[in-house]
Structures are given as structure tokens and as C-alpha cells.
Structure 1
């Protein structure tokens, strides 16, 4: 008589760790705050695609999207609408700016909308710095042939470029706060990475010249922007002026959607 097979012991599921851990609980109460994405411009294009990605991956979240017009009226309206659907005394919304770093105009508009709405709201910080942001930048570079698609370094394979300029939008403060992301990206690429600004100091052309002074011949521009915050053509024009090749903006990358959901989830877990 053959032995009975050993059946597995049913236990608690193993909770994934690191980047694979769910950024938001799989179930939320009906009164859970809405996730309101705030994007410069009319909230079309990449912003709308990111909202759709978050909805698909997190159906338990009510995801709203508001463009930041000159008076932030659309964001005010979204906050007021979210509050009407929830009991009094609870946080009606968590506003997540679709920005990789601080942005004076967006920050001012969001603050004005929150004040005007008179709604209980929490506003998160920008999406960076974060290792997932550096990973998304790496992927965009690889898509244009400006970086290897993986992180393995083989001594007999030359790097596609000699150095990278990580470019921000939002003034000098945004450039300063992107330094940790630059360090993370440099670690992934094992290449020099300097931070510059597309709309302020330090300028991209000056950063490219610094890199050439240390022997970098082929330089890549890595725009650390989601997209709506940079005027059309700005990245291409800046790269041409600096004599650099360039990656596409981050846009509706799934890692950016993940970062937005994580920002929302971090507020929930802190309560």
C-alpha cells in the first residue's frame, strides 16, 4: 500500500516585501479618502493615463484627476465633490502631485485649492526622490539605447554613453532635491550623473561642459519630469543646445503610477 501524499499545511500567506509589497491595502472602507492626482495643465495625456493605470491596479481606491489651471478651480471642485460623498469629520481626499520634485507654481496652486475648498485634505510630497524613480529613468534611457536594459556590468561591453545629465523642472530647489535620485541613477548605471535644471540654474549646457571636461564624449539627457510640467519641445531643444542625446520624459510609466499609489498608501498607514 502506497503512502499517502503529504499535503501542504495551510497557513497565513507570505506578505511580499520591498517594491512588490502592495502600496495600498487590498480593501478600504467606503469612507476612505479619494486619491486626487494633481497635474499641471489640463490633466490629459500622461496624467490621464497614469490615473487609468492606478484605477486598474487599485480598484479599491477612488481615483480622481484634476488639472491645475490658473486658479486651481478644477482641483477645488474635485475636493468639494469628494467631501460630499463622505461623512463629516473624515479626511475627504489625499492629493498626490504628479511631480518628481517641488514646483513653486504647482505647490502654490494646490495650497490655494485646498484653502478654497475648506475640505479636510492631506497633500503628499512629490514622487521623488525614490529608488523606483531612478529605475524609471534608467528604463527610459534604455529605451533610447542610452543605457543597458539591465544592471549587469560586463567588462567587455562598453557603455552606450559616458555620462548623464539628470534634468529637472521647478527651479533651483527642485534641482537640489533631485540629488539623491541622481546618486541612485549613477549607482544603477555606474556612470557620472550631474543634476541640472531645464528652467533655472544650474543649466544643462553647463553640466554637459563639466562632464566633457572630465572626459565624457557622449552625454545623455535624462528628463526627471512626468511630462505636463515641461513645455512641448523643451527637452529636445535643451538637449540640442547641450550637444546631448536625450531620453523621453517619464510619462505614464507604471513605476510612476506605483509611486503615486505609494504616496497615497503612506498617508493611510500613518493615520
Structure 2
């Protein structure tokens, strides 16, 4: 047998036969492979920033609110950090997140002030391993007015009619701050609640740094408003919430806590921050809502 007699592949007798063999070889190589679509990016971690309180009900209430948020958006990772008094502290929460994590810090605070403008940005600046944004405070916003109204109704408020409406009034009790922006935000929240109540006057009062609940009650009485309820503009139980409720002449609503509208408001703040609406731009949007 000569070298020319060694058996080998049969010569291709047509282009069609060549293409058939190439196709068969490619099919064999691809057998068993599963094509996978690229997974969508995970949403940023929502870090809820609570103030903190020595009242044991405060931490429990904040956790209930976060449970509501998780139920509404199970795809969003949710963490908690406190500015002071309770664990986990915000610094520790941020330090514990994996490097490169996208985060949105949402203050569970109801107006602008030192914590919103200084403490929270400083905490994020101390976590350079994260990519983060800070949402605006929860107030003012119509959803906050919805929650305030809901708590008043739970406490026994019924919208008065006729002559009763002329005698009714509401004090909006808030923490207070030396920052004038805080008072402006609370005044705007009072205006939104007044709209929600059908025009019943709502007068702001503060635990510190401004007119007290007694001052607000007296101001309403001077206008013939002697049936006065107190709306509690506090995110959770605490010393200031207890102090202002004790001065109420009639019914006092509980703090906002885990009201359904509060959970929706936190997520609204989170979504707007993700969209790039933060800082003064976020407040301007909400003030004109």
C-alpha cells in the first residue's frame, strides 16, 4: 500500500455538503450550553436614618415601619441606622456595607435641620467605600398630611360640621429646631393638613425653640376655637412626643409610626433620590406638591 492508498476524509463533492458538516460541528459544540440573560442590577440599599430615643417604643416603631416598607418593595434592601441613642448607629450601619454598594439615605425626620444638613452628610462622607445619595426629609408632603390626618381619626377626630367647625382647631406639635428652615417646613405641613381637614385651622407648636402647645392653644382660643386636638408630628414615640401630648386640652393623636402613608412616603423619597432629585431640589418639589 502506498501513501496514496492511506484512507482519509472523503472529498467534498459540493458546497452544500461542506456547510452541512460545519453546521453539525457547531451544533455539537453548543449542545448543553444554556444562554442566560444578564441579571438586572440590584436596586440601591435604602438606609433609613432614625433619630434615636431612650423610649423603648421608638425602636420597635421604626422596625415596624421598615417591615411595611419591605412588604411594599421586597426587591429593595433596607437597613436601619440611628443618629444617636439607639443601635445600630448610622456610622456602624454604613461601615458594615460591602465596598461599592449603592445606598440612598432616607432621613426619618419631618423637616430640615442640623441632623439633615450636617450629621447625615458627615456620616456618608465617612464611608467613602459606598456610592451614596441623601434623600430629603419626609416633610412637607401630602403623604405626611395623610398620615397626620389618619392618626387624628384613630384618636377620635371627626370632621365637625356647621357651628362645630367654627369652634374646632388643631395644634401641629413638632420637635422644633434653631434652623429657620425647620419652622418653615412645619408651617407648610400645617397648611397641607389644614387642606386635608377641609379648612380647619392648624397652628404649629414646638417642643423646643418656638411657640409651645399652650401658646398655640391660646392663639386658637383667641379666635373662638375652643375644641382643639393635637396632631403629633413625630416619627416615633419619645420624650418630645410625650411632652407635647400631655399639654393637649382635648384629644392627642399618637406619633406617625408605621402608618401606611409613611411607608409610601419613605419609598417616594428613596425613588426621587435615585432619580437624582435631592437636597434643595427635593424640598422645592415637595413644597409645591
TM-score (norm 2): 0.71
Q: Which structure 1 segments of 5+ residues have no match?
A: 1-27, 87-91
Partner residue, 1:75: 90
Q: Does 1:260 align with 2:244?
A: no
The correspondence for 1:219, drawn from 225, 228, 250, is 228
Q: Which residue of 2 aligns with 1:111?
A: 121
SS of structure 1 residue aligned to 2:74: coil
The residue correspondences of 1:232-247 to structure 2 (distance < 5 A) are 233-239=242-248, 243-247=249-253
1:206 corresponds to which of 197, 215, 224: 215
The answer to whether residue 50 in structure 2 is matched with residue 44 in structure 1 is no
2:272 match: secondary structure: helix
Question: Structure 2: 5+ residue runs without aligned partners?
Answer: 1-38, 278-289
Alpha-carbon distance, 1:62 to partner: 0.5
Query: 1:116: how far off?
Result: 1.6
Instruction: Tell me how far apart the structure 2 counterparts of residues 122 and 40 of structure 1 sit (CA, whole Å).
Output: 18
Q: Which residue of 2 aligns with 1:8?
A: none
Aligned to 1:163: 169
Counterpart residue number, 2:99: 84
The CA deviation string for residues 211-254 of structure 1, in whole angstroms up to 9 with x for no partner, is 10010111111111112565462233232xxx343111111111
Q: How far is 1:71 from its partner? A: 11
Shift of 1:160: 10
Change in CA separation of 1:61 and 1:270 when aligned onto 2, cut-off 3 Å: same
Partner of 2:24 in structure 1? none
Q: TM-score, normalised by structure 1?
A: 0.76
User: SS of the residue aligned with 1:191?
Assistant: coil
| CA distance in 1: counterparts of 2:241 and 2:195, whole angstroms | 30
Residue 164 of structure 1: SS of its match in structure 2?
A: strand
- Distance in 2, matches of 1:46 and 1:138, equals 19
Structure 1 position 124 matched with structure 2 position 135: yes
Q: Hey, what's the Cα distance between the residues in 1 that align with 2:145 and 2:66?
A: 21
Distance 1:39 1:71 in 2: 9
1:179 aligns with: 187
User: Based on CA coordinates, which of the two structures has the bigger radius of gyration?
Assistant: 2
Q: Relative to 1, partners in 2 of residues 1:260 and 1:159: Cα closer, same or farther, differing over 3 Å? A: same
Q: 1:44 to 1:196 in 2, by over 3 A?
A: same
Q: What is the Cα deviation at residue 73 of structure 1?
A: 7.5
1:72–1:45 distance in 2 versus 1, CA, 3 Å: closer
* RMSD value, Cα: 2.7
1:82/1:33 Cα in 2 relative to 1: closer, same or farther (>3 Å)? farther
